[in-house]
Amino acid sequence: MNALEIERVSRDFTTPAGGVYRAIDEISLAVPGGAFVAIVGPSGCGKSTLLNVVAGLLPPSSGMVRVAGETLTGLNRHATYMFQQDALLPWKTVRDNVALGLTLAGAARADAHSRADAWLERVGLAEFASHYPAQLSGGMRKRAAMAQNWILDRGIVLMDEPFSALDVHTRQRMETELLALWEGRSPERLALRDHTTAGARAFQASDQRKTIVFVTHDLEEAIALADDVVILSAGPAARVVAQHQVALARPRDLMELRTTPEFVDLYRRIWAVLRQEVIKSQQDAEARR
Amino acid sequence: MNQSRAVVLAAQVAVGAAFIAIWQTLVSLKILDPFFVSRPSDIGARIAQWSATGTLWAHLATTLEESLLGLLAGAVLGVSLGFLLARSPFLARVLDPYIKMLNAVPRVVLAPLFLLWFGLGIWSKVALAVTLVFFVMFFNTYQGVRDASRVLIDNVRMLGATERQLVRHVLVPSALTWIFSSLQTSLGFAMVGAVVGEYLGATRGLGYVIAQAEGTFDTTGVFAGMTVLGIVVVIVSAVVSRFEGWLLNWKKT
């Protein structure tokens, strides 16, 4: 069963000059439950617009999104969203931030906190529970954001270039931790020690692998993480130009993966398609200038 | 950090001492006429005398009471309307010219009206303070709510927040930083409102003391009143910034 079905979705914006700008044009895409799909395209191609439509933050101008078979109206309650920018509330501690989704749903404070603590343990931030986001490094803030998303245990996680602001090495570590979370492994240094605690309880629900839609402009990242790589054309009026399966075995060792012949071969083939769109978008940008 | 703070403090004391010393010397050498600018030593003696007889405390208490009431009422009104208009763009556009018009009214012109409406007691001064504080608080709250980060709002909505939870967890804290940064300004304005009100017609308060002294060409009295006012503002500001630092401690890295 498909977790997400995007059917001929277009989205228009009104420009300041009064014209109409079509960001995405009749995009159709089906995402099977439990799949990791990466959406790649040149910058400004409407990837984020598509993700916002799927999240229900933006209504489509035409077309529809179906979530678990039902047409989406309003916010997508089956999904959480990890943003490119920091979205932790700066005035709440890390613990309160991670617990936020539970608190909003009316969970008791003690319960929300114990489940948040279990997640903080899992992402390696136990010592920083009482810190404020401003006191954390960029990578730590991303881990807290992952915990904030995962704690709600919704079936779909939307990610909009979540790691693009990090340096290369931190980024690779975050990618590894993301895959570990998704595959239901605890990052090795954080194996669950005590299964009788709230920790075990917090993770029981997440047997089912989540469906991830991961937007990035970085093809390497897309191939390294995803089962499926969807290429969007250069905007405006972006469309799906290609869809590639990534048949690399899991679990993947991201430290080594990028130099394996399979990876390089796949990269070369997909890049041949993406390259043209990138060139087009650069030419458009030059022309506008 | 600590060292530089000590250096700043020492420099601040030095500037004040130098200013007073030069003033005192110029008056002693008869370069300045003490009739017009008084003399620091006389001013100090006058303040000491006032505080010894207790008149200072009574007047100061009145002024502080008026200022704080004005600050409180102005803040409540300003913050409420700021929130309301920030959440309702239509209302904001409708009321925009009127708010600008009202804000442009010189407060000194209002003072006699308030005296007429609210009498010689504290309420005419409170009202004057409110007209000053209100606009500072209003504009800052409005800005603060409008400025709340789009990403934070989207994230909290995706995490399941209702409209009320959104206000409580994102918009209020986000506006608080703006409101607090305007609190120092508002406090100064509240005192200005109170003192100007007292100056134009009252039976108590520092403004009244200054007006009385002026009426008898007692420059020492005028300067003593101004000095007390200045010292009080510095002390109250320090208290406010302590409070602010405590409430906004998440900003520290």
Q: Do B251 and A100 touch (CB under 8 A)?
A: no
List A residues 87-106 in contact with B (Cβ-Cβ < 8 A): 87, 89-93, 100-101, 104-105
Percent of chain B with pLDDT over 90: 66
Q: Does the structure show a pLDDT above 50 at B64?
A: yes
How far, in Å, CA of B243 to CA of B44, rounded? 31
| Sequence ranges of the domains in chain B | 1-32, 38-251
The rounded distance, in Å, linking the Cα atoms of A230 and A274 is: 10
pLDDT at B204: 92
CB of A143 within 8 A of CB of A163?
A: no
Question: Rg of chain A over CA atoms, in angstroms?
Answer: 19
A165 touches chain B (CB under 8 A): no
> ∠ at Cα A58 (A57, A63), nearest 5°?
130
Q: Is the pLDDT of residue A189 over 80?
A: no
**Is residue A236 domain-shared with residue A181, that is, in the same domain?**
no
- B253 inside 8 A of chain A by CB: yes
> For residue A158, is it within any domain?
no
Beta strands in chain A (DSSP E): 2-14, 20-32, 36-40, 62-67, 70-71, 79-82, 156-160, 211-216, 228-232, 240-245
* Amino acid (one-letter) located at A221: E
CATH number of residue A125's parent domain:
3.40.50.300
Residues A119 and A200 in one domain: yes
Residues 6+ apart with CB under 8 A from B61: none
Tell me the whole-structure pTM to 2 decimals: 0.79
CA distance A145 to B207: 55
Tell whether the torsion through CA atoms of A65, A66, A70 and A72 is positive or negative.
negative
Mean pLDDT over residues A246-264, rounded?
89
A2 vs A194, more confident: A2
Which of the pair, B247 or A220, is modelled with greater confidence? A220
> Cα separation of B148 and B155, whole Å?
12
Tell if the CB–CB gap between A152 and B156 is shorter than 8 Å.
no
A135 touches chain B (CB under 8 A): yes
**Is A160 domain-assigned?**
no
The residue in chain B having the minimum alpha-carbon distance to the alpha carbon of residue A158 is B158
pLDDT of B99 higher than 60: yes
Q: What is the mean pLDDT of chain A?
A: 88
pLDDT tens, position by position, B124-161: 999 999 999 999 999 999 988 988 899 999 999 999 99
pLDDT at B27: 92
pLDDT, tens digit, for every residue of B24-46? 999 999 888 888 889 999 999 99
CB B190, CB A119: distance < 8 Å: no
pLDDT band at A288 (very low <50, low <70, confident <90, very high): confident
Nearest chain B CA: its distance from A265 CA (Å): 37
Domain count, chain A: 2
In a shared domain, residues A218 and A193: no
Q: What is the mean pLDDT of residues A192-216?
A: 61
Res B253: pLDDT: 63
Say whether both A128 and A105 belong to one domain.
yes
ipTM score for this prediction: 0.87
- CATH code reported for the domain at B38-251: 1.10.3720.10
Residue A201: domain span: 84-153+171-207
Query: Average pLDDT of A238-251?
Result: 90
Quote the CA–CA distance of B40 and B224 in Å, as a whole number: 9
Write out pLDDT tens, residues B183-238.
888 988 999 999 999 999 889 999 999 999 999 999 999 999 999 999 998 998 88
- The alpha carbon of residue B146 is apart from the nearest alpha carbon of chain A, in Å, by 16
Segment A100-114 shows an average pLDDT of 94
End-of-domain residue from the set A207, A233, A253:
A207
Amino acid type, B141? T
Note whether A246 and A219 are same-domain residues: yes
Residues 122-181 of B with CB under 8 A from A: 149, 151-152, 154-162, 165, 169-170, 173, 176
Determine, for residues B155 and A81 on separate chains, whether the beta-carbon distance falls below 8 Å. Answer: yes
B78 pLDDT more than 60 = yes
